[in-house]
Each structure stands twice: as structure tokens, then as C-alpha cells.
């Protein structure tokens, strides 16, 4: 026996779960993903999502409705006669008609320990907040935003140097194994559901461009968490004048350092930068359109003298 599953996901984060369910012997009757987006150097080519590409390799039908406002799209979903829908970073809010459109409903793989960090950016927000732990949860979806009862969870530690990219890669494999376990238990009629606590929800709002600039007036620990929480994408940055022109420099890694001065002042030839409290030292940097470089290598091509003020 195996479950008839509709899989709904879009980015690379979702692909291991799709693979795990397939390898476990469940039948993926359809895959829903975001429509192809403009790509290529000039944005002229339509690029299929990682899930779309993985589904085609598996020979699974792929559907890319922009939403489920069309009654025909909702009926198509129901017509697959699936046992369950598995949702991992799909990118669309699902109406109640879809949530109830399979035998067992929809189960979501969410990258936090709910109710902390409900919403769009739980990985980045956990690191930016300085959390020491997060995890993956399998939750039965309801009409709220990540408010449904939890089936399974797996904590994951966040060390003090881990970036959002590193945590992303760890959680996507933890999530794949956890969803496989959940679907096996669902098939056996042994999947528990526990309501989330009503107290203490925290929301992980989408990262906006206006919060990516580094604020060196904050304590060094907060600056360090900000940098690693936005690495590698979209990247925290500061502005520096190079050859008489202001240029954005992305900081993709950092470490806590010692030193005191007015915030934003470069303290030494290793690019230690004073913060509102303490100092940070970038460990990897990137100029616009350039390669990611270790700080020592970056400074050989773009020297930044002690005493320079960084904005």
C-alpha cells in the first residue's frame, strides 16, 4: 500500500522531500509549483522552479496555476482523488476548498518550532534574533497562517557562526526525513496531532530591502546575527566610497571582535569595525557583480585603512 500524494513546493528546499516520498514508495499523482519565472542574464528566458525540474525527471504531471481563484483549477485538484497533499515552501496561500480537497487534508513542512516564527522567513528570522535552536515541523494546515495542529517535530541547534544558507541546507534534509515519517504514520493510521499553544506566537515577516543595510550603531552581537541571517541571500551590506564613488559591499560572513570607537570606524588593517557595543570583523565580502572573497583577499584589491568610517 502507498498514499496517493499531491506535492506542492517550489524552491530547492522542497526537492529532498519530494524525493524522499517517492523513494518511500508513495505515489506522487501531481506536483504543483510556482509558474516559470524570467531568468538568464537578460531575463528573457523562462526558468522552471527546482521542484518543476525534479518532477519532470520523475515523470510526474506538473501544474503551475498562479492561484486557485479559478473554479476549474480547484476542480482539477480534487479530480486527482489524492489521499493527502504535502506542502513545502509552495509560495501560495491555499483556500479552504484546496485544504479540504484530499482525503486527509494538507500537511506542511515548516522550518521552525511553531508557534515561534510563523510566516515567510523563519530561517532568516531565527538567526537574526539570535536563537540557539529551531527545527522542522510537520503541521496539518488550516485556514490560518501556520496555525494548524502539529504532527511531528525535530529540533535543530543553531551555533553562533551558522548562516541562513547553512541552516537552510540542514533543515531541508531534516524536513524530508520528517515528512517521510509523517506520511508513513498517516498511512498506518498512527499520526498524532497536537494543537499549537495559543500563547507566544512570533511572526517571521518577509525580508525587505530596506532592512538589509548593516546598522553599526547596534551591538556587535546583533550586527553579527544580522549578517549571518541574511547570508547568502539577499546579503547584508554597507556602503563604501571606492575611487570617488559610493559602492555597496555585501558582508556574507563575520565574527565578533574586540575594539572600541565610534560606531562604523575601521579599527585596524583587518577590517575590524566598531559597533555601538564591541566590534565585528567581516570574514567574506562581495563587491557588486564580483566574486565572494575572503576579507584578506578582498583587502588586497580594495584596501580600507584604519580610521575609515563605514556607513
First to last CA, the chain: 61
Query: Is 70 exceeded by the pLDDT of residue 42?
Result: no
Query: Is 90 exceeded by the pLDDT of residue 125?
Result: yes
pLDDT (0 to 100) of residue 41: 66
pLDDT (0 to 100) of residue 244: 87
**What separation in angstroms does the CA of 226 have from each of 65, 81, 218, 235, 257?**
35, 45, 10, 9, 15
Q: Which tens digit of pLDDT belongs to each residue from 92-103?
A: 999 999 999 999
pLDDT (0 to 100) of residue 45: 82
> Pick from 156, 154, 152, 151: which is nearest to 123 by CA?
156
pLDDT > 90 fraction of the chain, expressed in percent and rounded: 93
Q: Once rounded to an integer, what is the mean pLDDT over residues 55-76?
A: 97
8 A C-beta contact, residue 105 and residue 83: no
* Chain centroid to CA 35: 19
Name the residue with cell 522552471: 48
Q: Identify the residue with better confidence: 241 or 125.
A: 125
Q: Once rounded to an integer, what is the mean pLDDT over residues 288-305?
A: 95
- Residue 25: band (very low, low, confident or very high) from pLDDT cuts 50, 70, 90: very high
- Residue 243: band (very low, low, confident or very high) from pLDDT cuts 50, 70, 90: confident
DSSP per position, 192-211 = --BPPPSS--EEEPPP-GGG
Q: What CATH superfamily is the domain 4-203?
A: Formyl transferase, N-terminal domain (3.40.50.170)
Q: Is 24 helix (H, G, I), strand (E, B) or coil?
A: coil
H helix or E strand, kind and range, residue 293: strand 292-294
Q: Which residues are annotated as a binding site for (6S)-5,6,7,8-tetrahydrofolate?
A: 112-115
Query: Is 80 exceeded by the pLDDT of residue 43?
Result: no
Query: Is 80 exceeded by the pLDDT of residue 79?
Result: yes
- Residue 311: band (very low, low, confident or very high) from pLDDT cuts 50, 70, 90: confident
- Residue 141: band (very low, low, confident or very high) from pLDDT cuts 50, 70, 90: very high
Architecture (CATH level 2) of domain 209-301: Roll (3.10)
Q: Which residues are annotated as a binding site?
A: 112-115
pLDDT (0 to 100) of residue 40: 66
> Pick from 293, 286, 198: which is nearest to 249 by CA?
286
pLDDT (0 to 100) of residue 38: 87
Going from N- to C-terminal start, the domains of the chain cover: 4-203, 209-301
Arithmetic mean of pLDDT over the chain: 96
- Residue 39: band (very low, low, confident or very high) from pLDDT cuts 50, 70, 90: confident
Q: Once rounded to an integer, what is the mean pLDDT over residues 179-195?
A: 98
Amino acid at each position: 500500500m502507498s498514499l496517493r500524494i499531491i506535492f506542492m513546493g517550489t524552491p530547492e528546499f522542497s526537492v529532498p522531500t519530494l524525493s524522499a516520498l517517492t523513494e518511500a514508495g508513495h505515489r506522487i499523482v501531481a506536483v504543483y509549483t510556482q509558474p516559470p519565472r524570467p531568468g538568464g542574464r537578460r531575463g528573457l528566458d523562462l526558468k522552471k522552479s527546482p521542484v518543476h525540474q525534479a518532477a519532470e525527471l520523475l515523470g510526474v504531471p506538473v501544474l503551475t496555476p498562479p492561484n486557485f481563484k479559478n473554479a476549474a483549477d480547484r476542480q482539477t485538484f480534487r479530480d486527482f482523488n489524492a489521499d493527502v497533499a504535502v506542502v513545502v515552501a509552495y509560495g501560495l496561500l491555499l483556500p479552504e476548498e484546496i485544504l479540504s480537497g484530499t482525503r486527509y487534508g494538507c500537511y506542511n513542512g515548516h522550518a521552525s518550532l511553531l508557534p515561534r516564527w510563523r510566516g515567510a522567513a523563519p530561517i532568516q528570522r531565527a538567526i537574526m534574533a539570535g536563537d540557539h535552536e529551531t527545527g522542522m515541523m510537520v503541521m496539518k494546515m488550516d485556514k490560518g497562517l501556520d496555525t494548524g495542529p502539529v504532527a511531528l517535530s525535530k529540533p535543530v541547534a543553531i551555533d553562533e557562526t551558522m548562516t541562513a544558507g547553512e541552516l537552510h541546507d540542514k533543515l531541508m534534509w531534516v524536513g524530508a526525513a520528517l515528512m517521510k515519517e509523517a506520511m508513513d504514520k498517516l498511512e498506518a493510521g498512527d499520526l498524532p496531532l497536537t494543537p499549537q499553544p495559543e500563547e507566544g506566537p512570533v511572526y517571521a515577516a518577509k525580508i525587505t530591502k530596506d532592512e538589509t543595510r548593516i546598522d553599526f550603531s547596534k551591538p556587535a552581537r546583533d550586527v553579527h546575527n544580522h549578517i549571518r541571517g541574511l547570508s547568502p541571500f539577499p546579503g547584508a551590506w554597507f556602503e563604501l566610497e571606492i575611487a570617488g564613488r559610493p559602492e555597496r559591499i555585501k558582508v556574507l560572513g563575520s565574527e565578533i571582535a574586540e575594539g572600541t570607537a565610534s560606531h562604523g570606524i575601521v579599527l585596524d588593517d583587518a577590517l575590524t569595525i566598531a559597533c555601538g557595543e564591541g566590534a565585528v570583523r567581516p570574514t567574506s565580502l562581495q563587491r557588486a557583480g564580483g566574486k565572494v572573497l575572503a576579507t584578506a583577499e578582498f583587502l588586497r584589491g580594495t584596501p580600507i585603512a584604519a580610521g575609515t568610517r563605514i556607513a
